[in-house]
Amino acid sequence: MKKYAVLCVISLCLAMIAAPVFANGQKEQAASSSGNVTLTWWHNGTADPLKGVWQKVADDYHAAHPNVTITPVPIQNEQFNTKMPLALQSNDPPDIYQQWGGGQLATQIKSGKVADITNYVSSWIGELGGSVKGWQVNGKQYGIPFDLHIVGFWYRKDLFAKAGISAPPKTMDELNADVVKLKAAGIAPIAIGSKDRWPDAFYWEYFAVREASTAVLQKAMDTQDLSAPAFIKAGEDMQKFLDSKPFQEGFLGTPAQQGAGSSAGLVANGKAAMELQGDWDLSVMTGLTTDKDLASKLGWFPFPQVAGGAGDPTTTLGGGDGFSVTTKNAAAGADFLKYISSPAVQKMLVENNIASIPVNPAATSSISNPVVQSVAAYSGAASFIQTYFDIALPTNPGQALDSAVADFFAGQGTPQSVAESVAKANQ
């Protein structure tokens, strides 16, 4: 899923007065010191705390830049895959919108509506480090991340203790044994939101990360070819895991993040012991329970090692959240992204449990939750972070992968079907 210092008005005005002409021939209609502009901002903060924090960011920016009004439009995370392609085909796409980079971004820029903001951000983007490359296509910057993510298991320490589990598992054999213990204690071992399909993919992708070397992973993303033996073995691992029935009853109809009955809500309210999710899950769970002591009951551990796998044990699965701007008001939009990336807003995101791992290193010191500190430390020590497969791949192969894995979870598929679906989507 997924969450400042006051900036100089003069620099924004000068950039907007320049009104560059883009490659598609569309002249930017940015605000100037004598004109007003309203920027429509699509983000995935549909519930507090993220929704409220993003509103404050928009209001604070407007207070510092009275001629620029930001209009936030919260959109459910899962709807972006359908809404954004349609919006980019229209004559009125949002000025700023949620962006995860990778092959999905490369697909979107073909519309001619996504702005190349390289020149607008060149003076400050270096402060954010190498993570910004995930929002580049052919060396040009088409978006800015506001946080970084890794995927792992969030778990209830109290429920583990109830089941007699003294430490989180480090291997799949240990995880399988813990599933048995939790069932014996009458506790749903693992919650998953399979209704939204993408959470299923985390399992197949992590089995792939554990089975495949870094070189094999990188080659597969470059060639969009998942036929290597390691990926077939990942399917076999997943089938074996599914056969152990580790998930809650009715998991195929459970949403991931919407309501107390979602997979995140089940963990938040003590109805399930753990969930494989991104580091943002703490923020999501906080909004789905009345338990004020939830954070103290949660722990985190990385996806366990798979016996015999060729993957580097310190490789992890992750990505990040960010935003792109469209060509109509690119200069104003890029300046707003600078604001989101500044230390003050980054610290606010951390302090509200929205950004577990801020993109601006200056905000890292704001992480106070010891569990989140361990997540950030694990991320920093990772030898390689494999971007979510559905984001690293172009849109069609990525969506085909998610669908194939979801079908697999529903009992329709084989260990070979994921690779076959990606290959078919490339035809």
CATH code, domain with 419: 3.40.190.10
- For residue 17, the model assigns a pLDDT of 32
**Residues 62 and 33 both lie in one domain:** yes
In-domain check, residue 27 = yes
**Residues 39 and 120 both lie in one domain:** yes
**Residues 207 and 328 both lie in one domain:** no
Alpha helices in 33-156 (DSSP H): 50-64, 80-89, 102-108, 118-121
Residue 86 to residue 84: CA distance in whole angstroms: 5
In-domain check, residue 2 = no
Domain of 357, in residue numbers: 9-149+319-374
298: nearest Cα among 315, 279, 314, 313: 279
In-domain check, residue 189 = yes
In-domain check, residue 1 = no
**Residues 183 and 293 both lie in one domain:** yes
**Residues 291 and 349 both lie in one domain:** no
**Residues 411 and 279 both lie in one domain:** yes
**Residues 194 and 161 both lie in one domain:** yes
Structure tokens belonging to residue 402: 């998610």
- For residue 132, the model assigns a pLDDT of 87
- For residue 190, the model assigns a pLDDT of 98
**Residues 230 and 332 both lie in one domain:** no
- For residue 33, the model assigns a pLDDT of 40
In-domain check, residue 243 = yes
> What's the total number of domains in the chain?
2
In-domain check, residue 197 = yes
Residue 211 to residue 85: CA distance in whole angstroms: 33
**Residues 339 and 256 both lie in one domain:** no
Helix, coil or strand: residue 316: strand
417: nearest Cα among 209, 231, 210, 212: 231
Phi, psi of 298 (to 5 degrees): -100, 145
- Low-confidence spans in the chain with pLDDT less than 50: 1-34
In-domain check, residue 3 = no
